Structure 1
Amino acid sequence: MTAERKSLERAWGFDDVAIVPGAVTTNPDLVEPAFTLGEHTFDVPILASAMDAVVDPSFAATLTQAGGLAVLNLEGLQTRYEDPDAVLDEIAAATLEHSTEIIQHVYSQPIREDLVGQRVEEIRGRGGVAAVSATPANTKRLAPVVKDAGASFFAVQSTVTTARHVSRSLRGLQLDELVEQLDPVPVLVGNTVDTGAAIELMETGIHAILVGVGPGAACTSREVLGIGIPQVTATLDTAYARDQYFERTGRYVPIITDGGIRTGGDISKSICAGADAVMIGSPFAATKEAPGRGYHWGMATPHAELPRGVRVHVGQPRTLDTLLFGPTSRTDGTENLVGALRTSMATCGAQTIAEFHAARMVIAPSIKTEGKIYQLAQQMPG
């Protein structure tokens, strides 16, 4: 073994960078920020996270009608309880001190395959596009059920998912076989933050990659495990993998930046960095249509031995329509997310997401504070 000093690379998050305006600008109403996943094209490049405080069948159908896509958690309350409303009430009523304990308890009930199929059918029956998510450990069991029920998308999600996983299992999850088994249902896989790992995932034939480890508002993986990369760098690296893979194969695999996104500026920076869409949780959890009763919790919170999430209070101050399209009187970028994205793209002269990928970005740690002395001194609300 040769002695070698470990070196550290710089990595950047949303507050560290800025988008450079273009030499040509355009009108926001000429911008079309649509993205395509499988055979579906979505007018709004925003997905709702597969979290129980965010997505239920009703919310999924509502977001479909708004132009986006919601992902239902197949290992959550919706598939453990015939009527999850009472359980959601119990979580909302829990004291802060006992909230994690109660969440662990209610998630100890087994997943029911009959409810898995039923929830997919409910989403479709309400006119929604049925996208669902499972961890690698339960994918083999649940994938055939959701395909038979008519799901449109299947996501394999864990804190970190790789194409190569070493375990004691005689035969672990093989993503290439899953893609073949679920065909024509597109398979999304996450999460990852690394160029090499992303390329290996693409080579299995999957249809999209989710980017981000631990940035979510209700996630504590970075504190508990010490792992993660800030989202701008993670998106840049994974988008580079996508472009390398596309040059070599001619197959384009969309990148979805997942987590840590709160404002229209965060969405714009994600897409400018190379994402084709974003996935958000807490902003949706804070809408009146969300099932979480004004609370939000990470999906690793129920883990019996090593919980990696907390229940946070987000309130329900706005409707889904206001969040996405306004109008709004807030000045902090937390409402009218699509309007903010359109304006950001227009300022760079980009009419499509692909054109926005070509816009410049700079490292700018002072971007949020430069010239803002009065706002900071007066602590102006949004």
Structure 2
Amino acid sequence: ICVTTEVTKAGAPTLYATASVADALRDYGMELPIIADGGIRGPGDIALALAAGASAVMAGNLFARCKEAPGALVSIGGRYYKQYRGMGSPSAMAKRYSLDRYSLPSKGIVEGVEGWVPYKGELSTAIRELVLGLKASMGYAGARNIRELWEKARFAVLSPLGVQETRPHDVLLPSESERGT
């Protein structure tokens, strides 16, 4: 769980950074894979990152929730959570998992945090949901593969009211989990 931008103010939102790198590569006539890293919360975010020019995404948060992921399963307030930590977190650095990139001797500052993410269950279920959601997103763009998504996807800026309109409204839902939040 990276906090580099918060700590150092060096960084950019993932979608902006991905699109900027993709544009620069096109400007120079280069074709290199781009990995979008950060802010991936579900299949829609994966689709956005891919549409912006990414070839792949880092989705540690999504997989950290699964049974197969390392980290303790704990009960907090009647709900289950999995331990999750970034490579720049104090405990990961103490275990020397991230010595080369984030080690205290090389930088002298912590750039990651640790906490708990809601438990999701088995990895196969999470993967199936991601694949189905990504296929749906790509279908709306008329894309059969990532290259077609790069060519066909179009972005729009949503106002706060527009964002509100995209969510269920004027209906009483049994719980927030019905909205996927």
Do 2:33 and 2:54's aligned partners in 1 also have CA atoms closer than 8 Å? yes
1:360 corresponding residue in structure 2: 154
RMSD in angstroms over aligned alpha carbons?
2.2
Q: Aligned pair in 2 of structure 1 residues 375, 264: CA closer, same or farther (>3 Å)?
A: farther
Q: Secondary structure at the match of 1:299?
A: coil
- The 5 Å alignment of 1:46-85 reads none
Q: CA deviation at 1:377?
A: 8.5
1:373 corresponding residue in structure 2: 169
Larger Rg: 1
1:287 corresponding residue in structure 2: 66
Q: Secondary structure at the match of 2:22?
A: helix
- Looking at structure 1, the residues matched to 171 and 59 of structure 2 have their Cα atoms a distance apart, in angstroms, of 27
Q: CA deviation at 1:315?
A: 4.1
Runs of 4+ in 1 over 3 A off after TM superposition: 365-368, 371-379
Return the match for 1:277 from 49, 53, 56.
Answer: 56
- The 5 Å alignment of 1:1-382 reads 218-245=1-28, 247=29, 252-293=31-72, 294-302=82-90, 303-304=103-104, 305-325=108-128, 336-358=129-151, 359-366=153-160, 367-370=162-165, 372-374=168-170, 380-381=176-177, 382=180
- Looking at structure 2, the residues matched to 380 and 235 of structure 1 have their Cα atoms a distance apart, in angstroms, of 31
Paired residues, what number? 151
Q: Aligned pair in 2 of structure 1 residues 376, 231: CA closer, same or farther (>3 Å)?
A: farther
Q: Aligned pair in 2 of structure 1 residues 369, 255: CA closer, same or farther (>3 Å)?
A: same
Q: Aligned pair in 2 of structure 1 residues 375, 289: CA closer, same or farther (>3 Å)?
A: farther
- Looking at structure 1, the residues matched to 22 and 2 of structure 2 have their Cα atoms a distance apart, in angstroms, of 24
Q: CA deviation at 1:227?
A: 2.2
- The AA in structure 2 aligned to 1:219 is C
Q: Aligned pair in 2 of structure 1 residues 265, 375: CA closer, same or farther (>3 Å)?
A: farther
- The AA in structure 2 aligned to 1:362 is A
Q: CA deviation at 1:378?
A: 7.3
Give the number of the structure whose residues are more often helix, by fraction: 2
| Unaligned residue ranges in structure 1 (runs of 5+) | 1-217, 326-335
- TM-score of the two chains, using structure 1 as the length reference: 0.37
- TM-score of the two chains, using structure 2 as the length reference: 0.74
Q: CA deviation at 1:379?
A: 5.9
Higher relative contact order (CA 8 A, sep 6+): 1
- Looking at structure 1, the residues matched to 17 and 142 of structure 2 have their Cα atoms a distance apart, in angstroms, of 25
Do 1:239 and 1:274's aligned partners in 2 also have CA atoms closer than 8 Å? yes
Task: Provide, for residues 239-274 of structure 1, a one-character-per-residue CA deviation record: whole Å limited to 9, x for no partner.
Answer: 1122233x3xxx521111112101111001111111
